[in-house]
C-alpha cells in the first residue's frame, strides 16, 4: 500500500492537515460521491503540527465536492444575455490578451482589475502579483481577504510595524485566560476551539471570556459571556483597560522598555469609567469588572478574534484596542499570551505574505514604500518604477469603478462576489455594467458566473501542488493527488500563460509550482515573514513548518539543495564557508518547534517599539432608528463554507443545514407576534430577504441574526448581503458586513 498523500483542508484558516488515499486502499467497499464517482478517502493527518489528526465535518467530507458541477472547458459569450459557447484555451487566452491591450490603450492600465481569493495557493497569489503589479504596472489586485482579515493586517502593521499574528496554537494549551471577542470559534474554527475547550475543561483555574451579542456555542462554553450591544467593542476594551489601570494591574517595565505612545492612550481610557461602559455595552457592571479581574489575575492572556472585530467601520481601531490591552499588561511574546487573529480562509495568510492585497507587495512590503518597490523590481528584473506607488483598487472600489466606467476589465478568480460582497443589489447592477468580466473558478454554475463574459476552468484542491499558510504561520505543502477534470488548469499557470502572451516570456518561464515558490521565498529573505529556508521538497520531506524560517536555519543543507528546483541557490563556497559545515550530513528531519513573534520585546517599527493607539468608540456606521429598529448581524454556520460552492454540493452537509433562517429573541418575537418558522421579511435601506424565524434566547433583544452562506442559486430572497452596506473602516477598507439596521415584517 502506498503512503497517503499529505495536504491541507481547503476551507478555514485553522489549516488542518489531511491525508488522502484512493478508495481501493481503505480495505472497505468503494465509497462513491453523489455523482457515483469513486471517492478519495480523507482523514486527519496526525503528524500535522496544527491539528494533530483532528478534522471537522467540512474537512472530513471535502472529497465529496470534487466532481459535481465542475467547469471543465473555457466558455465565452459576447454579451450577458447570450448562452456560453465552448472555446479553446488558445482563443480564451488570446481574447484576454487582446482585451488587456485594448483597455491599456483606451483607459490606461488602471482600468484592469483582478479580484482573487484566500482559496489561492501561494504560487497563484504570487504569479498574479507579478503579472498585475510588476509586469502590467497596476496595483489593482485585491482579494476576498479584504472582506475578512484586512483590519487585522492594518492593526498589526500600525501597532507592530508589520503584519503577522504573534501567537501560535500551542498557546491555546498554555494560556490562563482566553479572551474571545467577535469570534464564534466553536463553529467557525472548530479544531482551534476543541484544543482550547479541552485545556479549559482540564484546568479549572483557566478562564474563558466570550464577547458576542449572540450566545453562540462558543459563548456557552465560557466562564463569562459578555453579550455587548453591537458596535460597543471599543467601549468594552477601553473599559477593561480603565479598570486595569485603576487597580495598578499594568506591566510598567514592559510599557517603558518595549512600547511607545502610552501617555495619550492612558488619557483616553480615563474617559471609560465602568458605570458608563457597562451602560453603553448593555452588560452588568459586575460582569465588566469580572472580565477585568480575569485579565488582572492571569499570568498569560490570549485574545482571539475574527470577523466580529474585523468586519467593522472601525475594524482597525478595534484590533489596535485589543492589542493595547496586551501591551499594557505585557501579554505578548510569551507562552499562552498574545493577540491572535483567526484567519477566515485557508490561505489568506499566504496571500498576505505574497502581497495579495491592493496596497501590499510580496514579503510583507507595502506599495507606498520606495525601497520596498525597488527590492521587488530588482528581484523581478524589471525596470525601476515598474511598480506603481499608488495603492490599487480595493474590492469595493472595483465595484464602484464598474459603476463609473473606470474599470474596463474585471478578472475574478476563486471567489463568488455575487454572494459575498455587501449591498448585493448595487453590486450586481455594477457587475452588469462590466465591459468584460473573466471568471476563473472550479465550479459552474455559481452566482458570479452569471455576470461573466469568459469562464476559465480552474484546478482546485487536490488537482495542483502548492503552498498554504494557516492562522498560526504554519506553512504546508498541499500535494496534487488527481488530475483536474477536462481542461482545467492551476490558477498560476493561467496567469503565467497570459503573462507570456503579453510578451513577458522570461518573467513567467516557470516549469513548476515548486519553481514559482522558490522565486517567491527569495522575496521573503530578511523580512519579518522570512521563508527563505523553505522549498516544496523540504516541506514534503519534513512536513509543515512555521515561519519565520530563514535559510540560515536549514539544518540539512544537502537535502535542501537537492529538493530545491533551482539547486538551492547555495554555492559550494557558501557550503564550505562554515555556515552549514557543522550540519552537513546531518539528516535531522525534526521540524523546528513552534515559534512566537516578538519574544524579545522588539518589534518591526523604526524604533523597535510597539505603538499604543488611542481610540474613542464611534459605534455602528448605520445605527438603528424608528424606521429600522433592529440590528442585523450575519455570520457563518459550522457546516457551511462561505458561499457554498463546495458545501452546497455535499448531500451530508445540506441535510444538516438545508436552508437559512433568522434568529430572534422570544421577547421581540412576542412583541411582533412572530411564531417559530413563520416567514419574516427583513428590509434594510438597500434590499430585502425572507427567512423563517428561529426563536431563541441565544440572540440579544433588538438584534437578529442570519447566516451569510446562501446566494441566488438557492432561491429568491435568501441572500444576507442584499441587506448589508459597504461602509468600511477608513484604514483597512474592510466593509462593516457584521451590522446594519433593518425592520421586520411578519408574513
**Smallest distance, ligand SF4 to C-beta of residue 735, A:** 24
Which is nearer to ligand SF4, 344 or 401 (by Cβ)?
Answer: 344
**Smallest distance, ligand SF4 to C-beta of residue 628, A:** 34
Which is nearer to ligand SF4, 65 or 232 (by Cβ)?
Answer: 65
Does the CA dihedral 340-698-283-627 come out positive or negative?
Answer: positive
Asked whether the beta carbons of 97 and 501 are under 8 A apart, the reply is yes
Asked whether the beta carbons of 682 and 662 are under 8 A apart, the reply is yes
**Smallest distance, ligand SF4 to C-beta of residue 472, A:** 12
Three-state SS at 707:
strand
In the chain the first and final C-alpha atoms are separated, in Å, by: 59
Work out the burial of residue 97: count CB atoms within 10 Å of its CB; fewer than 13 is exposed, 13-18 middle, 19 or more buried.
middle
**Smallest distance, ligand SF4 to C-beta of residue 386, A:** 37
Asked whether the beta carbons of 671 and 475 are under 8 A apart, the reply is no
Three-state SS at 214:
strand
Which is nearer to ligand SF4, 440 or 471 (by Cβ)?
Answer: 471
Nearest residue to ligand SF4, by Cβ distance, number only: 59
| E-assigned strand segments in 403-449 | 409-413, 437-441
Asked whether the beta carbons of 486 and 457 are under 8 A apart, the reply is yes
**Smallest distance, ligand SF4 to C-beta of residue 555, A:** 29
Asked whether the beta carbons of 266 and 613 are under 8 A apart, the reply is no
Which is nearer to ligand SF4, 13 or 339 (by Cβ)?
Answer: 13
What Rg value do the Cα atoms of the chain yield, rounded? 25
**Smallest distance, ligand SF4 to C-beta of residue 65, A:** 12
C-alpha to C-alpha distances, 412 to 115, 434, 704, nearest whole angstrom: 5, 12, 32
**Smallest distance, ligand SF4 to C-beta of residue 58, A:** 4
Binding site for ligand SF4 (CB under 6 A): 9, 11-12, 14-16, 51, 55-56, 58-59, 190-191
C-alpha to C-alpha distances, 184 to 189, 193, 256, 347, nearest whole angstrom: 8, 9, 35, 20
**Smallest distance, ligand SF4 to C-beta of residue 346, A:** 7
Question: Could you write out the DSSP letters of every residue in 474-521?
Answer: EEEEE---SPPSTT-B-HHHHHHHHHHHTT-TTTT--SSHHHHHHHHH
Neighbours of 295 (CB within 10 A): 25
Which is nearer to ligand SF4, 192 or 319 (by Cβ)?
Answer: 192
Which is nearer to ligand SF4, 56 or 610 (by Cβ)?
Answer: 56
Which is nearer to ligand SF4, 365 or 646 (by Cβ)?
Answer: 646
The rounded Cα 7 to chain-centroid distance in angstroms is: 19
**Smallest distance, ligand SF4 to C-beta of residue 8, A:** 7
**Smallest distance, ligand SF4 to C-beta of residue 12, A:** 3
Which is nearer to ligand SF4, 190 or 548 (by Cβ)?
Answer: 190
**Smallest distance, ligand SF4 to C-beta of residue 439, A:** 25
Which is nearer to ligand SF4, 111 or 350 (by Cβ)?
Answer: 350
Asked whether the beta carbons of 691 and 660 are under 8 A apart, the reply is yes
**Smallest distance, ligand SF4 to C-beta of residue 191, A:** 4
Q: Which residues share a beta bridge with 745?
A: 681
Which is nearer to ligand SF4, 16 or 112 (by Cβ)?
Answer: 16
Residue with cell 499558510: 469
Which is nearer to ligand SF4, 7 or 303 (by Cβ)?
Answer: 7
CA atoms within 13 A on the CB side of 140: 23
Which is nearer to ligand SF4, 13 or 231 (by Cβ)?
Answer: 13
- Using CA atoms, how far apart are residues 41 and 321, in angstroms rounded to an integer? 44
Who contacts 155 (Cβ-Cβ below 8 Å, separation ≥6)? 315, 316, 318, 319, 320, 322, 323, 732
Amino acid at each position: 500500500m502506498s503512503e497517503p498523500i499529505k495536504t491541507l483542508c481547503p476551507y478555514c484558516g485553522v489549516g488542518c492537515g489531511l491525508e488522502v488515499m484512493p478508495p481501493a486502499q481503505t480495505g472497505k467497499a468503494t465509497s462513491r460521491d453523489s455523482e457515483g464517482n469513486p471517492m478519495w478517502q480523507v482523514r486527519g493527518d496526525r503528524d500535522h503540527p496544527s491539528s494533530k489528526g483532528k478534522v471537522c465535518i467540512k474537512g472530513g467530507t471535502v472529497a465529496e465536492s470534487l466532481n459535481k458541477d465542475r467547469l471543465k472547458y473555457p466558455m465565452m459569450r459576447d454579451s450577458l444575455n447570450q448562452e456560453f459557447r465552448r472555446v479553446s484555451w488558445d482563443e480564451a487566452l488570446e481574447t484576454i490578451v487582446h482585451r488587456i491591450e485594448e483597455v491599456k490603450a483606451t483607459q490606461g492600465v488602471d482600468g484592469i482589475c483582478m479580484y482573487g481569493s484566500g482559496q489561492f495557493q501561494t504560487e497563484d497569489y504570487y504569479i498574479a502579483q507579478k503579472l498585475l503589479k510588476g509586469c502590467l504596472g497596476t496595483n489593482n489586485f485585491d482579494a476576498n481577504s479584504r472582506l475578512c482579515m484586512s483590519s487585522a493586517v492594518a492593526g498589526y502593521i500600525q501597532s507592530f510595524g508589520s503584519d503577522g499574528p504573534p501567537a501560535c496554537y500551542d498557546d491555546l494549551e498554555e494560556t490562563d485566560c482566553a479572551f474571545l471577542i467577535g469570534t464564534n470559534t466553536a463553529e467557525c474554527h472548530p479544531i482551534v476551539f476543541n484544543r482550547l475547550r479541552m485545556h479549559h475543561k482540564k484546568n479549572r483555574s483557566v478562564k474563558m471570556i466570550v464577547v458576542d451579542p449572540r450566545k453562540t456555542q462558543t459563548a456557552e462554553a465560557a466562564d463569562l459571556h459578555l453579550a455587548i450591544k453591537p458596535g460597543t467593542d471599543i467601549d468594552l476594551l477601553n473599559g477593561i483597560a480603565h479598570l486595569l489601570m485603576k487597580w495598578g494591574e499594568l506591566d510598567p517595565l514592559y510599557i517603558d522598555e518595549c512600547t511607545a505612545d502610552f501617555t495619550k492612550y492612558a488619557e483616553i481610557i480615563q474617559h471609560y469609567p465602568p458605570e458608563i461602559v457597562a451602560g453603553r455595552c448593555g452588560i452588568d457592571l459586575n460582569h465588566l469588572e469580572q472580565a477585568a479581574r480575569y485579565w488582572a489575575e492571569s499570568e498569560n492572556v490570549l485574545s482571539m478574534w475574527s470577523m466580529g472585530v474585523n468586519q467593522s467601520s472601525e475594524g482597525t481601531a478595534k484590533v489596535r484596542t485589543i492589542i493595547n490591552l496586551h501591551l499594557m499588561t505585557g501579554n505578548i511574546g510569551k507562552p499562552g499570551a498574545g493577540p491572535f487573529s483567526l484567519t477566515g480562509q485557508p490561505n489568506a495568510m499566504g496571500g498576505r505574505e505574497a502581497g495579495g492585497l491592493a496596497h501590499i507587495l510580496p514579503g510583507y512590503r507595502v506599495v507606498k514604500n520606495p525601497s520596498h518597490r525597488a527590492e521587488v523590481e530588482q528581484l523581478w528584473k524589471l525596470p525601476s518604477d515598474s511598480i506603481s506607488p499608488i495603492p490599487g483598487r480595493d474590492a469595493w472600489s472595483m465595484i464602484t469603478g464598474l459603476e463609473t466606467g473606470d474599470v474596463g476589465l474585471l478578472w475574478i478568480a476563486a471567489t463568488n462576489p455575487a454572494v459575498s460582497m455587501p449591498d448585493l443589489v448595487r453590486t450586481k447592477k455594477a457587475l452588469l455594467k462590466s465591459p468584460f468580466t473573466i471568471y476563473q473558478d472550479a465550479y459552474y454554475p455559481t452566482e458570479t458566473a452569471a455576470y461573466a463574459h469568459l469562464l476559465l476552468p480552474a484546478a482546485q484542491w487536490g488537482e495542483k501542488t502548492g503552498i498554504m499558510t494557516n492562522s498560526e504561520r504554519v506553512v504546508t505543502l498541499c500535494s496534487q493527488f488527481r488530475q483536474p477534470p477536462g481542461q482545467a488548469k492551476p490558477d498560476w499557470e493561467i496567469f503565467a500563460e497570459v503573462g507570456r502572451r503579453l510578451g513577458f516570456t522570461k518573467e513567467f518561464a516557470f516549469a513548476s509550482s515548486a519553481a514559482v515558490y522558490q522565486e517567491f521565498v527569495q522575496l521573503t529573505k530578511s523580512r519579518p515573514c522570512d521563508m527563505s529556508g523553505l522549498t516544496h521538497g523540504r516541506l514534503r520531506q519534513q512536513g509543515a513548518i512555521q515561519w519565520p524560517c530563514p535559510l540560515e536555519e536549514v539544518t540539512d543543507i544537502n537535502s535542501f539543495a537537492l529538493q530545491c528546483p533551482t539547486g538551492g541557490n547555495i554555492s559550494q563556497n557558501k557550503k564550505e564557508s562554515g555556515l552549514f559545515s557543522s550540519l552537513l550530513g546531518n539528516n535531522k528531519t525534526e521540524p523546528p518547534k513552534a515559534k512566537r513573534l516578538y519574544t524579545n520585546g522588539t518589534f518591526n517599527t523604526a524604533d523597535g517599539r510597539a505603538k499604543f493607539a488611542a481610540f474613542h468608540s464611534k459605534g455602528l456606521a448605520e445605527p438603528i432608528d424608528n424606521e429600522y429598529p433592529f440590528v442585523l448581524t450575519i455570520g457563518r454556520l459550522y457546516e457551511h463554507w462561505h458561499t457554498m460552492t463546495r458545501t452546497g454540493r455535499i448531500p451530508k452537509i445540506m441535510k444538516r443545514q438545508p436552508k437559512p433562517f433568522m434568529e430572534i429573541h422570544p421577547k421581540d418575537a412576542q412583541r411582533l407576534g412572530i411564531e417559530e418558522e413563520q416567514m419574516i421579511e427583513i428590509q434594510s435601506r438597500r434590499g430585502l430577504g425572507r427567512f423563517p424565524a428561529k426563536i431563541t434566547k441565544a440572540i440579544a433583544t433588538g438584534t437578529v441574526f442570519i447566516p451569510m452562506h446562501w446566494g441566488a442559486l438557492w432561491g429568491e430572497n435568501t441572500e444576507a448581503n442584499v441587506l448589508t452596506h459597504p461602509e468600511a473602516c477608513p484604514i483597512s477598507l474592510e466593509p462593516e458586513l457584521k451590522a446594519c439596521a433593518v425592520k421586520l415584517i411578519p408574513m
